[in-house]
Amino acid sequence: MRARPRQEVTFTIECSGNTGLPWFTGGIGNATWAGTPLAPVLQEAGILDGGIEVVFWGSDSGIVMVRGSNFREPFGRGMSLADAMSPDNLLCYEMNGAPLPTNHGFPLRLIAPGWYGIANVKWLRRIEILNTRLENRFMGRDYVTIREEQVGGTTLSRFTSVGRALLKSAPAKVTSNAGTYQIMGAAWGAPIARVDVRIDGGPWQPATIEPREGDGFAWTLWSLEWSKPSPGVHAITSRAVDTEGHLQPAMDDPRIANKRTYWESNGQITRRVRIVPSTS
């Protein structure tokens, strides 16, 4: 792999379960990844006419129970051949200019910019092209989002496998300097056009967006000046808008409220901060 053409991408990877449960926060990180493009490797290997699914097998495996019987199942995730052939996908061996750490997939992993973390297979062992769709624990039984929908007056549960990352933002911290406060955060999941911030249920205010990094796969940092907040606890909410006009949904939006699993939770995040009176 190191003898092949080298390519870099700065990409923010988020676990698809991040913020889906009250205690699961911080499952996200930004890094510069380096490796070789996946598509030429597949082309050189030779893709048969019937191939429709590219499966990435990791070296990790575990025991799963199916209908009362135990099986050892290797970790594997698949994507369509068209998705796999994206020029953005890399077979990576470096992270931030150094060899991949073990917990990030050493010696080789897939980096699929724009997809949730589960698709970015670590400890890559084998790539296989199938003439059928992959059905295994990590495609059809786990990492599956379940939403209830009304169809013809009947409530149906729709199951979809976790896939591409969704538009999202979050307030990260509040800083103060000589009585001046600043709210800072990040937005990701799509090219960001705007971030709005609301304090204590008040009007939405436009945040200041920092210049975008890389090819649009890295998070966008933003900030908002907060003038003279009163002492006590305050609620800060952010929402992102992408360059196509899509708005990060509120928590009561049906896309979030009708979801019965915690995967792909991209609803607006509210953080609470306490302002302490100055003692100077």
Count other Cβ atoms within 10 Å, centred on residue 75.
19
Q: How far apart are CA 187 and CA 208, in angstroms?
A: 12
Q: Is residue 203 part of a domain?
A: yes
CA diameter of the chain: 74
Q: Is residue 120 part of a domain?
A: yes
**97 and 20, same domain (yes or no):** yes
Q: Is residue 159 part of a domain?
A: no
**217 and 264, same domain (yes or no):** yes
Q: Is residue 157 part of a domain?
A: no
**127 and 205, same domain (yes or no):** no
**135 and 44, same domain (yes or no):** yes
The set of residues, in sequence order, having a beta carbon less than 8 Å from that of 258 and lying 6+ positions away, is 147, 148, 149
- Which of 145, 160, 191 terminates a domain? The answer is 145
Which CATH number characterizes residue 245's domain? 2.60.40.650
Find the domain containing 245 and state its range.
Answer: 168-275
Q: How far apart are CA 163 and CA 139, in angstroms?
A: 10
**132 and 16, same domain (yes or no):** yes
- Which of 145, 180, 215 terminates a domain? The answer is 145
**178 and 270, same domain (yes or no):** yes
More confident residue, 247 or 276: 247
**30 and 126, same domain (yes or no):** yes
Q: Is residue 155 part of a domain?
A: no
Q: Is residue 37 part of a domain?
A: yes
Query: What pTM value is reported for the model?
Result: 0.94
Q: Is residue 264 part of a domain?
A: yes
**11 and 118, same domain (yes or no):** yes
Q: Is residue 154 part of a domain?
A: no
Q: Scanning the structure block, which residue is given the tokens 């990492």? A: 143
- Which of 145, 180, 210 terminates a domain? The answer is 145
The helix or strand, by DSSP H or E, that contains position 40, with its residue range, turns out to be helix 38-45
Give the pLDDT confidence score for residue 79 in this predicted structure.
97
Q: 170-210 pLDDT, tens per residue?
A: 999 999 987 789 999 999 999 999 999 999 999 999 999 99
Counting the structural domains of the chain, the total is 2
- Residue 125 confidence (pLDDT) above 60: yes
**88 and 206, same domain (yes or no):** no
| CA-based nearest residue to 261, from 15, 77, 20, 19 | 20
Which CATH number characterizes residue 62's domain? 3.90.420.10
Give the pLDDT confidence score for residue 211 in this predicted structure.
84
The set of residues, in sequence order, having a beta carbon less than 8 Å from that of 199 and lying 6+ positions away, is 205, 226, 229, 234, 235, 236, 237
Q: 212-247 pLDDT, tens per residue?
A: 766 789 999 999 999 889 999 999 999 999 999 999
**35 and 137, same domain (yes or no):** yes
